[in-house]
C-alpha cells in the first residue's frame, strides 16, 4: 500500500575512463555513505568561447542550479541562514570553474527534471540516480557512486537484518526517488524490487509512506511511526543518537548524475571538464571528506 504524506571517509577512485537518483522554485534528495567519485572522462570543450556557452544559460554570466533542501550534510541552511553542504560546495565550485555567478534554487525533488526541460534550471545537483528513463529526458554527468542503505532507529530495536524484515510494515521515503521505485519494484527495479522479495517470501507488501522532502520522511522514523527509511543516509550523522544504518541489509548500488538539458551540449561538456579537473586536483575529495558521514 502506498500512502502520501505532507557519508565514513569514502573510497575514492578517479574513474577517468568510465562511461556510466528523490519545475519552478519550491514554494512549499542523497548522497550515501561509502561513496566514490565518478567522472565519465569526457574532456569537454575547455576552450569553448564564453559567449557561445552563455547562449545556453538562462541568464548570461550566471548559472541557475536546482537542488532540494534540506538534506543533512548535503544541502541545507546553517545556523546563520547560509547555504551549506556537500552538494552546495560542489555546485559553487563548478560555477567558479566555469566563471559564472551561481544562483541556487530550492526546488521540489520531483519537479527538478521538469524544470530542466522547461529551462528553469541550467543544471541540477540533487542526488538524481542515473536511470534509462531519466536519460531519455536529460543529460546526466556521473559524479557519485555508492550503495544504497537502509536507515533504522539507533540500536535497531525492530531487528531489521534483511530486506524482507520490513515486509508488511511502514517505511518512509521521499517521493519521486529511486528508493521509492526500489520498494515498489518499478522502473529500474521492475520485477526485482523489495515488494517482489516480499511476494516471493509469501509476505505482505511494504507499507510505503512518501513525503515531498527527506526531512519529513526521516522525522517519521525518529518518532517511531515507521520502522525504516530509504534515502539519504547522511541523516545518521545528523542524529547519531537516534538513527543508524541497518548493518546487514544489502541493497543495490547507485550512480548519481548532474542533470543538464539535452539542448545544452556546451554547458554539459564544460561541466564534465570542470568535474574532471576537481577530481584531478583533489578538490572533489576535499569536499567529500569535509562533509563525510561517520559510519555507525
Can you tell me whether residue 290 is helix, strand or coil?
helix
User: Does pLDDT of 29 surpass 80?
Assistant: no
Whole-model pTM: value is: 0.75
Closest of 267, 243, 253 to residue 53, by C-alpha: 267
Q: Which residues pair with 209 in a beta bridge?
A: 3, 172
User: Does pLDDT of 38 surpass 60?
Assistant: no
Instruction: Please give the CATH number for the structural domain made up of 150-252.
Output: 3.40.190.10
Measured torsion, CA atoms of residues 41, 44, 47, 50, in degrees rounded to the nearest 10: -140
- Residues 206-235 have a mean pLDDT of 95
Q: Which pLDDT belongs to residue 267?
A: 97
pLDDT band at 40 (very low <50, low <70, confident <90, very high): low
Helices then strands (H, E): number in the chain? 10, 14
Under CATH, which architecture does the 7-147+254-291 domain have?
3-Layer(aba) Sandwich (3.40)
In Å, how far are 44, 189, 284 from 178, measured between CA atoms? 29, 9, 24
Alpha carbons 215 and 217: distance in angstroms, whole number: 5
User: Does pLDDT of 111 surpass 50?
Assistant: yes
Cβ contacts of 213 within 8 Å, gap of 6 or more: 68, 69, 70, 108, 109, 174
Question: What's the sign of the alpha-carbon dihedral 126, 128, 134, 138?
Answer: positive
Q: Which pLDDT belongs to residue 69?
A: 94
Alpha carbons 256 and 116: distance in angstroms, whole number: 16
In Å, how far are 14, 98, 186, 274 from 88, measured between CA atoms? 21, 15, 30, 15
Neighbours of 113 (CB within 10 A): 23
User: Does pLDDT of 30 surpass 50?
Assistant: no
Domain ranges in the chain with CATH number 3.40.190.10: 7-147+254-291, 150-252
Q: What is the pLDDT of residues 119-134, one digit of tens each?
A: 999 999 999 999 999 9
Amino acid at each position: 500500500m502506498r500512502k502520501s504524506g505532507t557519508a565514513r571517509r569514502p573510497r575514492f577512485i578517479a574513474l577517468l575512463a568510465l562511461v556510466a537518483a528523490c519545475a519552478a522554485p519550491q514554494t512549499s534528495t542523497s548522497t550515501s555513505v561509502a561513496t566514490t567519485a565518478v567522472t565519465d572522462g569526457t574532456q569537454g570543450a575547455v576552450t569553448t568561447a564564453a559567449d557561445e556557452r552563455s547562449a545556453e544559460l538562462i541568464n548570461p554570466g550566471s548559472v541557475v542550479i536546482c537542488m532540494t533542501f534540506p538534506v543533512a550534510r548535503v544541502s541545507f541552511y546553517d545556523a546563520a541562514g547560509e547555504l551549506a553542504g556537500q552538494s552546495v560546495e560542489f555546485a559553487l565550485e563548478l560555477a567558479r570553474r566555469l566563471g559564472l555567478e551561481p544562483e541556487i534554487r530550492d526546488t521540489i525533488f520531483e519537479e527538478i527534471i521538469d524544470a530542466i526541460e522547461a529551462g528553469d534550471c541550467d543544471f541540477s545537483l540533487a542526488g538524481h540516480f542515473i536511470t534509462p528513463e531519466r536519460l531519455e529526458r536529460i543529460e546526466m554527468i556521473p559524479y557519485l557512486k555508492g550503495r544504497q542503505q537502509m536507515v533504522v532507529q539507533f540500536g535497531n530495536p525492530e531487528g531489521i537484518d534483511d530486506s524482507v524484515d520490513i515486509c508488511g510494515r511502514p517505511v518512509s521515503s521521499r517521493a519521486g526517488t529511486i528508493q521509492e521505485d526500489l520498494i515498489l519494484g518499478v522502473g529500474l527495479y521492475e520485477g526485482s524490487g523489495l515488494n517482489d522479495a516480499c511476494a516471493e517470501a509469501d509476505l505482505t507488501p511494504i507499507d510505503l509512506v512518501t513525503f515531498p522532502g527527506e526531512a519529513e520522511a526521516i522525522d517519521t522514523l525518529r518518532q517511531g511511526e515507521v520502522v525504516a527509511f530509504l534515502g539519504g543516509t547522511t541523516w545518521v550523522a545528523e542524529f547519531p543518537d537516534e538513527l543508524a544504518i541497518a548493518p546487514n541489509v544489502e541493497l543495490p548500488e547507485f550512480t548519481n548524475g548532474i542533470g543538464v538539458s539535452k539542448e545544452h551540449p556546451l554547458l554539459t561538456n564544460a561541466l564534465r571538464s570542470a568535474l574532471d579537473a576537481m577530481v584531478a586536483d583533489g578538490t572533489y575529495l576535499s569536499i567529500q571528506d569535509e562533509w563525510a558521514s561517520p559510519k555507525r
